[in-house]
Amino acid sequence: MILTGGAVVRSLDPVQITGDDLHVTDGRIAADGGVERRDCSGCLVVPGNVCAHTHLYSALARGMPYDLAPPENFLQILQRIWWRLDRALDEESVRASALIGGMEALLSGTTTLVDHHASPNAIDGSLDVIEDALSSLGVRSVLCYETSDRDGPECAQAGLAENRRFIERERREKLPLARGLVGAHASFTLSDETLAACAAAARELEVGLHIHAAEDAVDERDSMALYGIGVAARLARAEALDARTLLAHGVHLDDREIALVHAANAFLAHNARSNMNNAVGRARLGALGLRVALGTDGIGSDMFEESRAAFFRLREDHSDAGPDWSLERLSQGARFVGAAFGERRFGRLEAGAPADLVVLDYATPAPLTTGSFPGHWVFGLGSRHVRDVMVAGEWVVLDRRLTRMDAQELAAGARVQAERLWKRLDGIGSHEFEPKGGRR
């Protein structure tokens, strides 16, 4: 394939733009070659976006009925919304969620999803279901099951086993588009034994641990009350904090804990809109530093929207931040995924890199240069400009339509599953789990 006539953004950080043809051969960007041509005149060709933290299982939850008393804090949001929803999930609703989430990702220019999954009543094989749904759409993914003690020791063991089983399968079958991590929910729902088992599995399998860390003050309070140390220190003590680790949120990490995260060179997924929506506080982005990627925490997977919201929220505190901040963050997400896939060039459109890219139909109203591109990203570009999407060298969206599946059919199937899922919710009350360290 040869993409002709477009401005090619070879790299987001640092920004590099060239005007030459882009060649794709055998699933990778190439120096030359390709036979078929795709006219990209008047378009921008950019690396595919990465969502570094999401929960596909929430895709059928939008607008779902809610009869309990309104949640007043983060813990109640989990007890009354998400820990009810996840227990209502079965294989079919997990599949429908992944298909809808994957479809929306591609149509908004996101080519890789780093997912954190929970379905306590359908654990075994759940990662296969998600992988199958995403691979059939052509979405690249990094998957894990969120091991937790909140639903009892059997679920904790089954959760960890699911991670291990999937990682072993993904390796045995050499899945082209999926990798596994060891997933864990959060410090406050993990016993020392379970956390140690997760850390040991991650070390043994040589993968990262993907875990929520200090998303809300409740996580830090629990760790301090039970162990006398903060969440990051607890992870470090369990040997669960290293350069492969992906922490989500980190809102309540203090200076000492942030220093531990830096020392470990761990990644952190910042989820600006989710933090606002759950009123958990503001992540200290200045202190958190460079290895911060962007996630949506389940609020779709439109990274144009997420990076814009994150940027404006940042600007409220740091008016000196430039729009290149958003591009640096997206590029960190690609770096994390590249590490998971063993692809050093991942996220760049340079020879040898996996050909994950997006063609944006953008009639630029102002000069588009290396210097102005970040401004276009934050103030102009959006998922409405996504025309074509390629993953691993294959077109998965052409002229704003999925190439492998029918969007209307997927939505119709999802509506059936959503209705059944919502009905099952009626029979499930607020989750009774309370942090052992107490609420206060």
Tell me which residues touch Zn ion (CB under 5 A).
Answer: 248, 297
* Virtual torsion, Cα 319, 250, 289, 337, nearest 10 deg: -120
Shortest spacing between CB 83 and Zn ion, in angstroms: 13
Closer to Zn ion by Cβ: residue 104 or 215? 215
Shortest spacing between CB 249 and Zn ion, in angstroms: 7
Closer to Zn ion by Cβ: residue 219 or 388? 219
Shortest spacing between CB 297 and Zn ion, in angstroms: 4
Shortest spacing between CB 53 and Zn ion, in angstroms: 6
Half-sphere exposure of 244 (CA within 13 A, CB side): 20
β-strand 140-143 against 178-180: which pairing, if any? parallel
Burial 238-269 (b: 16+ CB within 10 A, else e): bebbbebbbbbbbbbbeeebbebbbebebbbb
Both tokens of residue 151?
């639903």
DSSP letter for each residue of 321-353: --THHHHHHHHHHHHHHHHHHT-TTTTS-STTS
Closer to Zn ion by Cβ: residue 89 or 360? 89
The gap from C-alpha 367 to its chain's centroid, in whole angstroms, comes to: 32
Closer to Zn ion by Cβ: residue 11 or 97? 97
- For residue 14, whether the previous peptide bond is cis, meaning omega lies within 30 degrees of 0, is yes
Closer to Zn ion by Cβ: residue 248 or 272? 248
Please tell me what DSSP assigns to residue 79. Answer: I
DSSP letter for each residue of 224-286: HHHHSS-HHHHHHHTT--STT-EEEE-TT--HHHHHHHHHHT-EEEE-HHHHHHTT-----HH
Shortest spacing between CB 52 and Zn ion, in angstroms: 11
Closer to Zn ion by Cβ: residue 12 or 251? 251
β-strand 2-4 against 110-115: which pairing, if any? unpaired
Closer to Zn ion by Cβ: residue 77 or 425? 77
Closer to Zn ion by Cβ: residue 138 or 183? 183
Shortest spacing between CB 81 and Zn ion, in angstroms: 13
Which residue number places its CB atom closest to Zn ion?
Answer: 297
Q: Residue 142's closest CA among 207, 190, 90?
A: 207
- Tell me phi and psi for residue 171, to 5 degrees: -75, -45
Burial (Cβ within 10 Å: 0-12, 13-18, ≥19) of residue 200: middle
Helices vs. strands in the chain: H and E counts, helices first? 15, 21
Closer to Zn ion by Cβ: residue 131 or 297? 297
Shortest spacing between CB 144 and Zn ion, in angstroms: 11
| CA pair distance 279, 53, nearest whole angstrom | 18
Closer to Zn ion by Cβ: residue 215 or 222? 215
Shortest spacing between CB 275 and Zn ion, in angstroms: 10
β-strand 246-249 against 209-213: which pairing, if any? parallel
Shortest spacing between CB 290 and Zn ion, in angstroms: 21
Shortest spacing between CB 131 and Zn ion, in angstroms: 19
